[in-house]
Structure 1
């Protein structure tokens, strides 16, 4: 995961930007302190970076306390110097800020502070919503799906009963192997042997059913092969392309998913790429990016309802290209709406499902199964050193207090140096 920062613009924080670019952090700059809460309502940030000299009045203290209370999973980092130690210590003591960076900046100290803060945040998010009774299974699943190990490792022969349960759901419920076995049984029992011509007569409906479920089972094994290839690959993507390569992939995958969209009369609307990104590069592997785009579009389709529209919107913000995939949010089985904050991190974990209902209608379009879809999306994005998050946002178009689910991908942008010819 790549950290995303909200920065209060100043001469001091501007000198921090080259270091953030070097470590591939994405960031968004704002001009006024009172803009922070507005941005936090509409976007997820890991850090808020504030210069201490802009936090002198009582209103500043009130804003920081409001942020700490309302957005406890966003850490406030202060930029300070030797003239402001007392004020900095006061903010830290009151827990209005998590840590500080000293100016003038030392690159390694800045990187160490940010890395330490990010590790703390990740640990907090991991442990926040996992009950003690679930700890053993959670740790086992993480161990099994450590991307530095192959799933063929001997250690994985003792795979837990819960994982077997997930595979059983995917393999034997609905179309696929389970139904294929039933159809073969019917085929054997219902086929009539023609003794005169020495062949079996099979009714067309049985053969059609056999063919349909053979295709479903083959698709399932193909998805297992694709998933295995993604899991086993640990290499960071080094190849680069212009971001304009993304648009035709979204368009092609939307066309491929037309049949899936037709099941509930849905539509995908895709914006244009900003012209300002055309001179930049992103890390880019065509095959893996295609896997990712299909999965996130299909995920939005599955969790939307009749007649819904799904939006794909591109933004150029500071040093990154942001892609938002937005679909309406609906009530879950537990009464929550869309992606509750407590699930925003867990939803990328293996086998995690908000809903226990498996819709077999979309099985033939899926590349990743067994509850691994978003897990493998995150794995691919990590290989691209790109951040992916999913969360609820307010639907500001309808003015009826409804929510949307927003999956956001942030590709760090860079300009390749021209080689001397």
Structure 2
């Protein structure tokens, strides 16, 4: 994963801007300290980077404390020099900042510090999630082995049932293998042997059902083959093409998914590539990016409702082309909405599901299944050295006071070769 940074820009951070561009890491910048909190609220950043010389008075340090408190999922990194060791040491001691980088900055050390900090952040989030999951498991175990409750409520659940439930979701729920097995069972029981004992007569309705579910099962196995090819491929994409080719893929996939849109009378609304990015290039593998676009569009369709509009908006920010796929956020089974903040990192892990509901209506369009869709999207984008995040945002362009789900992909931009 490529970290996404917010840079507090000043005369002291010019080298940082150059380094971030050199290593193709995505970033945004603000010029006023007062802009930091609003920018952190509007987007998702792994790091806030500033120079220690720009945070010298007590008032700014108090504001820094507030930022640490309100944005615990953003690590603060400082650039420092030998003349500012007292302030640097104080900020580190008070845990207002996570790490420091001393000037003059060496490129490899700078990248190493960001990568190491990112691993710490992801581990921290994972630890919090595991702790919460363990607490939930402990509570369930107490309930399961509470014999009084078991007697009064006929409780017969056990932990193994959860495992079976997940296997059922991933392999057998809906059309495909499970239904195919059922149809074959019907076929065997309903088939009638002719008088000579040589041929069976099969009702047309059963044969049609068999054919339909054979196609669904075949599609499932095709999906497994595609998934395996992506999992086994570790090649970094070196080919570079103009971003207009990405637009062509999106238009093609939108056309393929027209039938899926009609199920709930939904629409796509696609912006154009910003003119400032037209003369640049992105890493580009057409087949792999087609998989990515299909998966993220299909996810947006599945988790949106009747007559919703799904927005695809391009931005040119700093050294990258940004594609945002935005659809309305709705309530989950557990009462949360959209993508709960604690799950933002885990939706890209294999078999992780916020909802256990499987909608068969879209099965024939799926190229990834079994809870592998977003993990394989991330794998492909890693091969393009691109950043992907998904999170809730405030609804700023619909006429309602609601939240939206925003999936953001950031492609590093390269200059057109002369």
Task: Give ranges in structure 2 of 5+ residues lacking alignment.
Answer: 138-159
Q: State the alpha-carbon separation in 2 of the partners of residues 281 and 130 from structure 1.
A: 40
Q: How does 1:62-101 map onto structure 2 within 5 Å?
A: 62-101=62-101
Aligned to 1:315: 315
- Check the 8 A contact 1:295/1:368 in 2, yes or no: yes
Equivalent residue number for residue 140 of structure 1: none
CA RMSD of aligned residues (A): 2.3
Corresponding position: 1:174 with 2:155: no
CA distance in 1, matches of 2:268, 2:62: 42
Q: What is the CA-CA distance between 1:112 and the residue it aligns to?
A: 3.1
> Would the aligned equivalents of 1:390 and 1:407 in 2 still touch at CA under 8 Å?
yes
Alignment of 1:340-379 (within 5 A): 340-379=340-379
> Do 1:237 and 1:285's aligned partners in 2 also have CA atoms closer than 8 Å?
yes
Counterparts in 2 of 1:23 and 1:196: CA distance versus 1, 3 Å: same
CA contact (8 A) 2:338 2:392 kept: yes
Note the alpha carbon deviations across 1:207-231, whole angstroms, 9 max, x for none: 2211111111111111011011111
Tell me how far 1:250 sits from its aligned partner. 1.0
Change (3 A) 1:132 1:262: closer
How far the C-alpha of 1:291 sits from its partner, in A, is: 0.4
User: 1:128-277 residue pairs with structure 2 within 5 A?
Assistant: 128-131=128-131, 166-195=166-195, 199-277=199-277
Q: Deviations over 1:144-166 (max 9, x none)?
A: xxxxxxxxxxxxxxxx9977754
- Whether contact under 8 Å (1:387, 1:411) holds in the other structure is yes
Give matches, 1:260-339, under 5 Å: 260-339=260-339
Contact kept in structure 2, 1:166 and 1:370, CA below 8 Å: no
Equivalent-residue separation in structure 1 for 2:171 and 2:13 (angstroms): 53
CA drift at 1:269? 0.9
Of stretches 193-202 and 392-401 in structure 1, the one that deviates more from structure 2 is 193-202
Measure the CA separation in 1 of the matches of 2:191 and 2:131. Answer: 54
Q: Secondary structure at the match of 1:229?
A: helix
* Higher mean displacement: 236-245 or 200-209: 200-209
Shift of 1:347: 1.0
TM-score by length of 2: 0.89
Equivalence for 1:151: none
Distance (whole Å) between structure 1 residues aligned to residue 132 and residue 75 of structure 2 = 25
Contact 2:279 2:416 in 1 (8 A): no
Task: Report Cα offsets for 1:31-65 as digits up to 9, x if no partner.
Answer: 11111111111111111111222223333223211
Moved more, 75-84 or 105-114: 105-114
Cα distance per residue 1:302-358 (max 9 Å; x no partner): 111111111111000000011111111111111111111100011111111111111
Q: Return 17-26 or 261-270, whichever deviates more.
A: 17-26
Cα pair 2:193 2:199 within 8 Å, conserved: yes
More deviation, 248-257/49-58: 49-58
What SS does the aligned partner of 1:129 have?
Answer: helix
Aligned length, in residue pairs: 395
Q: CA deviation at 1:85?
A: 2.0
CA distance in 1, matches of 2:196, 2:130: 68
User: Which moved further from structure 2: 186-195 or 356-365?
Assistant: 186-195
Instruction: Please report how far the alpha carbon of residue 189 of structure 1 lies from its aligned counterpart in structure 2 after TM superposition.
Output: 3.0
Secondary structure of the structure 2 residue equivalent to 1:409 = strand
Change in 2 beyond 3 A, CA 1:41/1:293: same
**Does 2:14 match 1:17?**
no
Q: Give distance in 2, aligned partners of 1:101 and 1:403.
A: 37
Match of 1:7 in 2: 7
Match of 1:147 in 2: none
How many angstroms does 1:175 deviate by?
1.0
Shift of 1:398: 4.3
SS at match of 2:231: helix
Contact kept? 1:172, 1:178, Cα under 8 Å: yes
Q: 1:63 to 1:133 in 2, by over 3 A?
A: closer
Question: 3-state SS of the aligned residue for 1:324?
Answer: strand
Q: Which runs of 5+ in 1 are unaligned?
A: 138-159
Change (3 A) 1:363 1:94: same
